[in-house]
Amino acid sequence: MEVTQLLLNAQSIDGSVRKQAEDSLKQFQEQNLPAFLFSLSGELANEDKPADSRKLAGLILKNALDAKEQHRKFELVQRWLMLDATVKSQIKSCLLKTLSSPVPDARSTAAQVVAKVAGIELPQKQWPELIGSLLSNVHQLPPHVKQATLETLGYLCEEVSPDAVDQDNVNKILTVVVQGMSSSEGNNDVRLAAIRALYNALGFAQANFSNDMERDYIMRVVCEAALSKEEKIRLAAFECLVSIASMYYEKLTPYMNDIFTITAKAVREDVESVALQAIEFWSSICDEEIDILEEYAGEFTGDSDVQCSYFVKQALNVLVPILLETLLKQEEDQDQDEGAWNIAMAGGTCLGLVARTVGDDIVPLVMPFIEENITKPDWRQREAATYAFGSILEGPSPDKLTPIVNVALNFMLSALTKDPNTHVKDTTAWTLGRIFEFLHGSTMDAPIITPANCQQIVTVLLQSMTDVPNVAGKACGALYFLAQGYEDVGPSSPLTPYFQEIVQALLTVTHREDAGEGRLRTAAYETLNEVVRCSTEETATLVLQLVPVIMLELHNTLEGQKLSSDEREKQGELHGLLCGCLQVIIQKLGASDQTKYGFMQFADQIMGLFLRVFACKSATVHEEAMLAIGSLAYACGPEFAKYMPEFYKYLEMGLQNFEEYQVCSVTVGVVGDICRALENKVLPYCDGIMTQLLKDLSSNQLHRSVKPPIFSCLGDIALAIGQDFEKYLMYAMPMLQSAAELSAHTAGADDEMIEYTNSLRNGILEAYSGILQGFKNSTKTQLLIPYAPHILQFLDSIYVEKDMDDLVMRTAIGVLGDLADTLGSNAGTMIQNSVSSRDFLNECLSSEDGSIKESAEWTKLAITRAISA
Amino acid sequence: MAPPDFRRPFKRAAVSDQQRRRELTLERQAQSRHDAQQRVRNLASTIISLQSQEPDDADVVLEPYLEESEAPPKELDIRRASRMRGEQVRNWFARQLMLPEWMIDIPDNLSQDWYVFARPAGKRCFVVASNGTTVSRQRNGSILHCFPSALPNGAKTREPSGPAHSYSILDCIFHEGDQTYYVIDMVCWGGCSYYDCPADFRFYWLNSKLEESGASGPPSYYHKYRFSAVTHEKGLPAAYTDATPYVKDGLLFYNKHAHYQSGNTPLALVWKDVKCSQYVLDTDSTGQVPDQQQVVLELQEDGNLITSDDPPIIFARLNSEFIQQLGLHSGNFVRCAINDGGLSFVEGKLEKADLKYIGKCSRGRAFADSYSKVVFQHMARHSPLTYDDLLVAANKAPSDVEMAG
């Protein structure tokens, strides 16, 4: 059967026809990949073929070049690069030819595939003529081809990293794109394609944004497009402005007056999609200024790379009224819709960011709006006033807000019970939560919650929990922060008298028939967790009594009836909530020896329940149950050994879970807990665990964030089993060494990369620490001597690099001591001869960080002993 | 219309509770890891500190040349320490044991906050089990026994009974009569340090660990002496009157919340009377109770005679002529008798002691008497603290309010 028919059949509504076609395509691909790809490109380019088969041909081609998962993507890239050059060149010429097709779908699909190929080839310095040929065509072609070419350039900028394109080509691309955007371009499709292309090309424009003339030109064209009559063009232009706000904040000063006028007009008058982007522009400016000001306030005062231009402060008097107006444009029932996003929500969000940016200055601008509207008969006005109040509670100083809150609190409490409108009640409960979140806690000078009003607050919140689900959920949220404020209140909490009542009310909420609506059940359990976490010794027995209650809940959900997949998903969620709650309780009770013993009577049963939760999910393990088991192992100590035979397979499953890397990560942490609990009793399981961990480390499928904890975990194992770690040394050490070499230098990395590198270093160093300490006082310390020079070299190189964070510093100086402590005189000489050990030690000894200093002092002793031995 | 992905969901908290749970767990794990590392390191450094008594400045650390003569023994670790001889080890062990003060007044909340138990008569010692051997050392550092035991790593059996490098340290009294080590406290077990745990926790673990290890079982080839935990929590009347498998030597009072602290501590107290101890009044070098109370004090550079307390209490002062004449040096322990003038106190503080020099103590002596011992002995001779006094305090409900008029 020819490929056209296969491609059409693959879109048939008849399942069996579709299946057969898909199988045939797959077979074709497996038998002869080059021929398969070539015939797809031929199909896409052929004007005689139906649009549907051409489009699918293009999509299959695209999927043959890229995938979401990193490892798969890597394979596909390698596969394409290995392909015969002649075939590739034929495919590419088909693709370029398709860009001039009169069929829009064919053009657009071809544009995407060209960009994918470019994404693979340009970094390899292949296909050098591509950009030139796209650019040379753009002037002389009919509009639809010009549009497709600009679209291709846009996708190309999205796919390819800026350093794979030389500045000369970047200049040419931007010239073509910006010309296409200008108001002189008569064809709206071309103009829209150009603006969308610019959106992707902004990352390439560093040099051009540093050139005043070029930047002026780009900004002028973007602002013009933002005033276009065509809605799609305005929207695309505002999206560019949002992106420019965060990418080129420091270059914006000359344009802010114009942008302010344009955005203000859009917020007030434009259609919602455009207005939302106009608000988002200001939200992004706030984000930037919050970051800059935070850095100003940080340790390196005034040393920020970017200067704050105080755009928000300057625009404040005009910006705030515009945002307040948006608050009155609520939609009916917006609180029932989880995914809702409208201009009132965006406006309130922006107002909150403005408050965080300017602090106290916003308060006098918002108070009149609140006072005027809060008692109006129209619910929209009351809701808007309340929302405005709630939005500005983070940012201004407690000194400024506390007097206002003291006046408002009673009003809010009464509105929560008496207001006839649920929107108002929803926002009121949320606002109370914000009050407790930001103005209540041990760090506040003037408490807003006093013995006089505490009872009333609790009563009102508990009563609200019987309201409609969205209001009840917000009331739970408010209680969450009420409890959190008493986190470090000391031995006696003002919530103690209400503890039982609160717990009971929350459990009742979880049993409401409508608890599945919104996030009500989740909110109730989360609040229960926080109430437990922040409870004091006074209520320890009540927390203990909660254990069998939650266990029973979990037990009941495990009683097997056949479930639909939808029900199974809900059940999985509920398991998560209950395991999460048990985890919090275990961690609470396990933290003190007095409470731990009471709890231990339940350990067997709880573990049994967790194992049943795992058994419910056939292929994977439950992250929440895994977290809870970690806490249980911590609480049980060596006793945990008896659960290992049954639990081990789930542990292994968790370590194999590459797709849900959070599960893998949590499981790695649990291995550490178990090692500390069991010590050398973990030995029988170590072969399996080590195999899995080493596999994880060498996999490129696993999310990179899991690797640092895996290294730390190697240290946990070594510390637990001591010299029995010997048999793993020959595998673990080379891996540590090569990871150490990779993480030694950070030249040219961005902040995020430096942060990751530091977490990697910390993991590697913790592994070294655990191994060295594990071997201490054994007869096999000499096995480690060959590795010592490399460890010292690693310490030298990260010291010289001068970019380690405090945690790495503490771990690193400890490793120096561990070397001396375990290897004695063998290490002494090496340390004396190392490049920077002395400087590093002296620097740590005079550190202001107590824990670094403490480690350093210990290291000093260990070295003294080693060199004098 | 959907909100931008990176914006906080409408009316939602910045951090989800699940995220908070994850973070708190990671925090706990990082802390436990750090603690575990510190534990291993710190156990070593109590040994290391042996040689580093002299404060040295940071710059010295990496100097390549250290004077040979000052070089301490190689590879000094706990096992070496337990076999070391000489003054160093004596000092070390003297510094590690928790030494109860003598009870000179009754602590508040005796019934609530304090354990009381009958102290076995015998030799107070530290028992260290590691690497297949068990060594017991007396308070002055001399080895009492070196033997196999069922403590973790306490004997060279075929199957290791704990991590190879781990060791255990128990605070014991060896009772000659039934050849038993009565364990009064646990400092380390199987490599875990319990220094920083309150007494009630240590005692709880002590009982269960001892049971678990088989060390409380009868002697055998791999287990030469029985270890028996004293009963810590029977209350005052039982501790005083009940029969014990051992000969009693007074009562020990341990504060339930106190950590194991080396040296003299007011959170552990010893009390004796003639009914529960054969050794109420101190004997002299011939084993006789002297007519006059005798005290042992340490001579300082400036001629002051001080107790072993930290800070020390000055009892008297010898003039330099006298010191020279007797051939005494600073650091010597001297024995004195308390003359008829006795001890006089003002507002609970020693004001004056009427002392008479008797002589220098033998070299085996590791410390001077503590202030509380001297005062207890003095009271025992003149106006003792009686069992009835204790009983009254023990029966007093903790909430009783003392009327001060």
Residue A537, burial from CB neighbour count under 10 angstroms (0-12, 13-18, 19+) = middle
Mutate to test the interface with A, among B6, B34, B61, B207 (most CBs of A within 10 A): B61
Q: Which residues of A touch B56 (CB under 8 A)?
A: 864
DSSP state of A704: G
Question: Is B172 a member of any domain?
Answer: yes
CB contact under 8 A, B163 and A346: no
- What's the gap in Å between the CA of B130 and the closest CA on chain A? 10
DSSP symbol at A656 = T
Question: Scanning the structure block, which residue is given the tokens 């309201």?
Answer: A467
Tell me the chain B residues in contact with residue A814 when contact means C-beta distances shorter than 8 Å. Answer: 37, 41
Coil, strand or helix at B74: coil
Does pLDDT of B80 surpass 70?
Answer: no
Contact B1 A342 (CB under 8 A): yes
Say yes or no to pLDDT of A403 above 60: yes
CB atoms A587 and B163 under 8 Å: no
The Cα A399–Cα B105 span in angstroms is 52
CB pair distance less than 8 Å for A437 and B13: yes
- B27, part of any domain: no
**B239 and B356 share one domain:** no
DSSP, collapsed to helix, strand or coil, labels residue B153 as coil
The tokens describing B304, both together, are 């002051």
Q: Are residues B265 and B380 in the same domain?
A: no
A115 band by pLDDT with thresholds 50, 70 and 90: very high
Q: Quick one: DSSP state of residue A310?
A: -
> Cβ contact (<8 Å) for B1 and A723?
no
> In terms of domains, do B242 and B352 share one?
no
Q: Are residues B263 and B180 in the same domain?
A: yes
Residues from chain A contacting residue B189 (CB–CB below 8 Å): none
Question: Helix-strand-coil percent breakdown of chain B, rounded to 5?
Answer: 25, 30, 45
Look at residue A442 in the predicted model and tell me its pLDDT: 83
- The answer to whether B13 contacts A433, with C-beta atoms less than 8 Å apart, is yes
Q: Mind telling me how many Å the CA of B1 is from chain A's nearest CA?
A: 5
pLDDT of A214-234, one tens digit each? Answer: 999 999 999 999 999 999 999
Q: Across residues A591-599, what is the average pLDDT? A: 83
**Chain A residues within 8 A of B4 when measuring between CB atoms:** 280
Where are the strands (E) in B3-86, listed by range? none
Residue A434: closest C-alpha in chain B: B13
B82 within domain boundaries: no
CB nearest to B201's CB, from A276, A283, A593: A593
Structure pTM?
A: 0.69
Query: Residues of chain A with pLDDT > 90: what percent?
Result: 70
Residue A272 tokens, joined? 């919602």
Nearest to A3 by CA among A65, A46, A63: A46
Does residue B212 sit in the same domain as residue B172? yes
- Is the pLDDT assigned to residue B77 strictly greater than 50? no
B261 and B347 within one domain: no
Highest mean pLDDT out of A3-7, A117-121, B286-290: A117-121
Picking from B64, B74, B163, the nearest residue to A722 by CB comes out as B163
Of A49, A140, A57, which is closest to residue A101 (Cα–Cα)? A49
Same domain, B243 and B337: no
Residue among A742, A681, A685 nearest A708 (CA): A742
CB contact under 8 A, A860 and B61: yes
**pLDDT tens-digit map of A18-48:** 999 999 999 999 999 999 999 999 999 999 9
Interface mutation target, options A531, A679, A777, chain B, most CBs of B under 10 Å: A777
The more confidently predicted of residues A772 and B162 is A772
Kindly identify which residue of chain A lies nearest to residue B201, measuring between CA atoms: A593
Residues B122 and B251 placed together within one structural domain of the fold: yes
| Mean pLDDT of chain A, nearest integer | 91
Closest partner CB to A280 (pick from B4, B42, B44): B4
Rounded to an integer, the average pLDDT of A418-438 is: 96
* Contact between A673 and B71 using a beta-carbon 8 Å cutoff: no
Q: Are residues B321 and B236 in the same domain?
A: no
Determine the angle formed by the axes of helices A707-721 and A751-775, rounding to 10 degrees: 10
All residues of chain B having their beta carbon less than 8 Å from the beta carbon of residue A867 are 61-62, 64, 66
Mean pLDDT computed over A208-215: 93
Cβ within 8 Å of residue A154, ≥6 positions away: A177, A193, A196, A197, A198, A199, A200, A201
Q: Do A437 and B164 touch (CB under 8 A)?
A: no
Q: What is the pLDDT of residues A732-788, one digit of tens each?
A: 999 999 899 988 887 767 788 888 999 999 999 999 999 999 998 788 889 999 999
Count contacts between A and B (CB, < 8 Å): 170
CATH of residue B325's domain is 2.40.50
Highest mean pLDDT among A130-134, A590-594, B152-156, B392-396: A130-134
The tokens describing A284, both together, are: 């992004």
pLDDT given at position A472:
96
Q: Residue count of chain A, please give it.
A: 869
Residue B325 is part of which domain span? 294-385
Contact yes or no for B17 and A666 at CB 8 A: no
Residues B341 and B193 in one domain: no
CB contacts of A716 in chain B (<8 Å) are 33, 36
| More confidently predicted of A251 and B383 | A251
State the best of B11, B15, B133 to mutate against chain A, taking most chain A CBs within 10 Å.
Answer: B11
d(CA A448, CA A346): 29
The nearest alpha carbon in chain A to B49 belongs to A861
Task: Examine the fold and report which residue of B271, B302, B326 is the final residue of a domain before the chain moves on.
Answer: B271
Would you call B13 and A867 a contact, using CB atoms and an 8 Å cutoff?
no
Contacts of A349 in chain B (CB under 8 A): 3, 7-8, 10
Nearest CA distance, B162 vs chain A (angstrom): 7
Listed in sequence order, the DSSP H helices in B86-128 are: 86-96, 110-113
CB contact under 8 A, B11 and A721: no
Q: What 3-state class would DSSP assign to A495?
A: coil
Nearest to A777 among B33, B77, B198 (CB): B77
CA distance A403 to B103: 56
Question: How many Å apart are CA B152 and CA B271, to the nearest integer?
Answer: 33
Q: How far apart are CA B30 and CA B227, in angstroms?
A: 37
The answer to whether the CB atoms of A430 and B11 lie below 8 A apart is yes
Residue A329 has pLDDT above 90, yes or no: yes
C-alpha distance across the termini of chain A, in Å: 83
**Residue of A345, A632, A857, A864 for testing the chain B interface, max B β-carbons within 10 Å:** A864
Query: Distance between CA atoms of A428 and B277, rounded to whole angstroms?
Result: 73
- Cβ density class B122-132: b for 16+ within 10 Å, e for less: bbbbbbbbbbe
Q: Are residues A340 and B190, on separate chains, in Cβ contact within 8 Å?
A: no
Task: Give A612-627 pLDDT, tens digit per residue.
Answer: 998 887 556 688 999 9
* Distance from C-alpha of A100 to C-alpha of A148, rounded to nearest angstrom: 7
What rounded mean pLDDT belongs to chain B? 77
Whether residue B143 is found in the same domain as residue B244: yes
Domain containing residue B133: CATH number = 3.30.470.30
Residues whose CB falls within 8 Å of the CB of residue B239, separated by 6 or more in sequence, listed in order: B116, B117, B118, B251
Mutation target among B15, B17, B205, B212 for the A interface, most CBs of A within 10 A: B17
Residue of A nearest to B163 (CA): A680
Q: Which residue of B has its CA nearest to A593?
A: B201
Name the pLDDT band for A835 (thresholds 50, 70, 90): confident
Contacts A276 to B, Cβ<8 Å = 1
Which H or E run contains A500?
helix A499-511
What are the tens digits of pLDDT across the range A565-594? 788 888 888 999 999 999 999 999 988 877
Question: Distance (Å, rounded) from C-alpha A696 to C-alpha B359?
Answer: 73
Residue B391 within a domain: no
How far A526 CA sits from the closest chain B CA (Å)? 6
According to DSSP, the β-strands at B333-346 and B349-360 are: antiparallel
Measured on CA atoms in the order B32, B37, B40, B44, is the torsion positive or negative?
Answer: negative
Query: Which of B45, B62, B70 lies at the smallest CB-CB distance from A837?
Result: B62
Cα separation, A754 vs A271, whole angstroms: 43
Residues in chain B closer than 8 A to A838 (CB atoms): 61-62
Q: Is the peptide bond before B120 cis (omega within 30 degrees of 0)?
A: no
CA distance B197 to chain A (A): 10
B396 belongs to a structural domain: no
Contact A778 B32 (CB under 8 A): no
Chain A residues inside the 8 Å CB shell of B7: 283, 349
Quick one: pLDDT band at residue A104, thresholds 50, 70, 90? Answer: very high
Is the pLDDT confidence value at A332 over 90? no
- How many domains in chain B? 2
pLDDT confidence band for A465 (50 / 70 / 90)? very high
The β-bridge relationship of strands B180-189 and B192-193 is: antiparallel
B28/A474 touch (CB, cutoff 8 Å), yes or no: no
The tokens describing B225, both together, are 């002496």
* ipTM at complex level: 0.77
- Asked if A593's CB is within 8 angstroms of B28's CB, the reply is no
- How many Å apart are CA B39 and CA B194, to the nearest integer? 10
Among chain A residues, CA nearest to B53: A861
Backbone angles phi, psi at B288, to 5 degrees: -100, 150
Residue of B nearest to A826 (CA): B75
Q: B11–A680: do the CB atoms touch at under 8 Å?
A: no
Model confidence pLDDT, tens digit, residues A46-79: 999 999 999 999 999 999 999 887 778 888 999 9
Q: Is B381 within a domain?
A: yes
Q: Is B354 found in the same domain as B233?
A: no
Strand ranges in A262-398 using DSSP code E only, listed in sequence order: none
CB contact under 8 Å between A841 and B45, yes or no, is: no
What is the edge-to-edge ordering of all strands in the sheet holding B294-299? Answer: B314-317, B304-306, B294-299, B333-346, B349-360
